[in-house]
């Protein structure tokens, strides 16, 4: 699915860059001023804008391709790029409805849906950690665990195995991650 998004965004990047380059050439050959603007400036800005917009969509396609190859959710800048591409397609779809027609609107909405589907299907909270219990963590026996900063190594001073007797807190639900306790700062000088 992420590969489809990458191909669509790359094709759109090439189309947007080529369209703006073509419009820049048309403006350059017209030799007419629009509201007093220099035709050379309009032509150059159209070409530069097309190249930048095309590079933006190509970068979004690269992020989608990396998601497809790694089979992991996008993180950091990649996630922000895909979210911004979804917003851009929503805005372009709204403008396309009035200026171009319903077919361009439909294309923009389909691409928007693909990007949102990509972001939702590769959710970072869910993950395939359905391995057999009872082994050394991180070596195929169970899910890999991270050591907490400042935690003692597992060998020296590790607590003994759990007995069947109830211990403190067994009657209450437990969090999977212990809460960090911060000391409140004084509010008065």
Q: What span, in angstroms and rounded, lies between the C-alpha atoms of 36 and 46?
A: 17
* Sole residue written with tokens 């200026």: 99
Q: What is the mean pLDDT of residues 151-162?
A: 53
Query: What pTM does this model have?
Result: 0.60
Q: For the segment 21-62, what is each residue's pLDDT rounded down to a tens digit?
A: 999 898 888 877 777 788 888 888 999 999 999 999 999 999
Q: Which of 55, 45, 56 is nearest to 88 (CA)?
A: 56
Q: For the segment 127-137, what is each residue's pLDDT rounded down to a tens digit?
A: 444 444 454 54
User: How many CA atoms, within 13 angstroms, populate the side-chain half-sphere of residue 20?
Assistant: 18
The pLDDT of residue 91 is above 80: yes
Which pLDDT does position 113 carry in this prediction? 92
Higher per-residue confidence, 112 vs 146: 112
Query: What is the band of 141 on the pLDDT scale with cuts at 50, 70, 90?
Result: very low
Q: What span, in angstroms and rounded, lies between the C-alpha atoms of 59 and 42?
A: 25
Which pLDDT does position 131 carry in this prediction? 45
Which pLDDT does position 181 carry in this prediction? 74
Q: What is the mean pLDDT of residues 66-84?
A: 88
């Amino acid at each position: 699915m992420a590969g489809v998004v990458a191909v669509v965004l790359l094709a759109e990047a090439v189309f947007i860059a080529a369209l703006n380059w073509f419009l820049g050439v048309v403006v350059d050959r017209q030799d007419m001023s629009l509201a007093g603007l220099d035709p050379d400036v309009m032509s150059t800005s159209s070409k530069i804008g097309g190249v930048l917009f095309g590079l933006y969509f190509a970068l979004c396609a690269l992020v989608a391709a990396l998601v497809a190859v790694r089979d992991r959710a996008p993180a950091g800048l990649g996630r922000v790029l895909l979210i911004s591409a979804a917003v851009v397609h929503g805005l372009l779809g709204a403008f396309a409805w009035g200026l171009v027609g319903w077919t361009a609107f439909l294309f923009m909405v389909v691409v928007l849906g693909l990007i949102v589907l990509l972001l939702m299907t590769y959710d970072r909270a869910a993950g395939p950690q359905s391995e057999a219990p009872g082994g050394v963590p991180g070596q195929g026996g169970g899910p890999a665990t991270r050591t907490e900063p400042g935690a003692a190594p597992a060998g020296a001073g590790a607590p003994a195995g759990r007995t069947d007797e109830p211990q403190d807190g067994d009657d209450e639900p437990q969090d999977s991650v212990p809460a960090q306790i911060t000391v409140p700062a004084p509010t008065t000088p």
